[in-house]
Amino acid sequence: MSGGDDATGADEPTRAVAQGTFDLVHPGHVHYLREAAAMADELHVIVARSANVSHKADPVLAARQRRDVVESIDAVDEAHLGNESDIFVPIERIDPDVIVLGYDQHHDEAALSDALADRGLDCEVDRAGPREPKYDDELLSTGRIIDRILERRG
């Protein structure tokens, strides 16, 4: 995507939003964020608060620590903590051109598009592709990293 013209004729940067838990950041996360960054001029990442993570085990790391780690990744322009009561609040504030989902995230693209439209948010919903392991024992899942730690040190 490229910048568009605003009413003054100046280019305004396009914004992408990626979101997730980002607990124990691994190469799969970096791949997702780099793909998302390639879809716009700026990448904003919304890091889920622990209270909003209901589809998997509670994060190991605190939300602010996860946000700080994500913000240190070169592809990320700004990382935000999610809103505890309404996940759309940061999206409304950022006003993205595209929301990029991870290839294996549990979100339904059509349902998300409908919810965005209901709130008057005009943006695309896209999905990043998978990152294949580069070698046999590479782990691209936080759950698998935790399992290996428990196996070796538990």
Render each residue's pLDDT in the chain as its tens digit; 154 residues: 444 455 554 688 999 999 999 999 999 999 999 999 999 999 999 999 987 887 778 899 999 999 999 999 999 999 999 999 998 999 999 999 999 999 988 888 999 999 999 999 999 999 999 999 999 999 998 989 999 999 999 8
**82 among annotated binding-site residues:** no
Q: pTM for this structure?
A: 0.88
**27 among annotated binding-site residues:** yes
**130 among annotated binding-site residues:** no
**29 among annotated binding-site residues:** yes
**21 among annotated binding-site residues:** yes
**88 among annotated binding-site residues:** no
Contact 46, 36 (CB under 8 A): no
**26 among annotated binding-site residues:** yes
- Determine the 3-state secondary structure of 50 from DSSP: helix
Contact 27, 137 (CB under 8 A): no
Cα 132 versus chain centre, distance: 18
pLDDT at 139: 92
Name the CA radius of gyration of the chain, rounded. 16
Residue whose structure tokens are 């691994």: 26
Q: Which of 9, 1, 71, 4 is nearest to 41 (CA)?
A: 1
Structural domains in the chain plus CATH codes: 8-153 (3.40.50.620)
9 Ramachandran zone, left/alpha/beta (phi>0; psi -120 to 50)? left
